[in-house]
Amino acid sequence: MTTAPAARATDAPLAALLANRRWERRRRPFPHVVATNVFTADAYDALAAAFRAELARAGAGYLARHDLHGITLTSDAGPLGVFASRAWHDLLARLFGVEATGDVSVGLHHHEAGSASGFPHTDLNSAWFPADVGEAPVRLARPDVIEYTTGRAMRPGARGREIVRAVACLFYVNNPGWRPGDGGATGLYASAGDPPTRPVAVVPPVDNSLLAFECTPFSYHGFIGNRVNPRDSVVMWLHRDRADADRRWGAQSIVPFGGEE
């Protein structure tokens, strides 16, 4: 286990929000980074309040395959905009040495108490964004324009472009008083065939903590069912060019879409 200097933040506003400047880099069962007390207390409280308000305002849809309710952010959404900032994008890309495209998908996920365990998957999937890249430093996914998972046009004349998930980050929020045995953790696995309830390693959903990893053919992870309380998280992905992903992992390793936690 080593530490990663996460807080060489790329702009002053992000640096002012960060509390813990040393994040842990772990190797087992695949390289990943974990951090606790990520944001200052005031910044975290603002994020938690914004999460609750946005989830209530937008009306989360149900993803049956993962037994969760979720929404995709298509605008900065106040304090949650930190996850759509160029500084945050560059911080995560730098952690894993990824040449990311500036395309970011940010989702709010809510698991009701008693949600079923998921399944080991890698997140090394194709993703689709609008073809018009524009000049914005960060471009959020727009499932109302181009369906993120298939590239299907949701508006007349809309065109999509295929890229590939490069870095995944889960930020745990609104899970007060979590204790071992409550469930709702993220399991890390050695293979797709591992039982969901028998992970090699576990990352607990402690408030104001995160898990981040490069999406590779070996980054098997999944949700472990929550027995006691709901579990909330911000889930986001950076992306890389399809040609870059094919060179690095081989085209056969890129799954058209395998689902997100």
Whichever domain contains 83, its CATH number is 2.60.120.620
Euclidean distance between CA atoms 124 and 119, whole angstroms:
14
Give the residue carrying structure tokens 């930020």: 171
Any domain includes 258: no
Question: Where in the sequence is the domain holding 177, given as residue range(s)?
Answer: 2-253
pLDDT band per the 50, 70, 90 thresholds, residue 9: very low
Any domain includes 260: no
Q: What is the mean pLDDT of residues 114-125?
A: 94
Euclidean distance between CA atoms 202 and 129, whole angstroms:
32
Any domain includes 7: yes
Phi, psi dihedral angles at 223 (to 5 degrees): -80, 135
Q: What is the DSSP string of 58-88?
A: HTPEEEGGGTEEEEE--S--GGGGGGGSHHH
pLDDT band per the 50, 70, 90 thresholds, residue 208: very high
Q: What is the pLDDT of residue 256?
A: 84
pLDDT top residue among 144 and 55: 144
Q: Which residues contact 195 (CB under 8 A, 6 or more apart)?
A: none
Any domain includes 261: no
Q: What is the mean pLDDT of residues 17-32?
A: 95
Residue 145 is encoded by which pair of tokens?
A: 């324009």
Among 7-16, 45-54, 123-132, name the one with the lowest average pLDDT: 7-16
Residue 46 is encoded by which pair of tokens?
A: 């603002």
Any domain includes 147: yes
Domain count, the chain: 1
Residues 61-91: tens digit of each pLDDT: 766 566 768 889 988 779 999 999 999 999 9
Bridge partners, 2 (sequence order): 25
Any domain includes 191: yes
Please classify residue 198 by burial: count the beta carbons closer than 10 Å to its beta carbon, then call 0-12 exposed, 13-18 middle and 19+ buried: exposed
pTM above 0.85, yes or no: yes
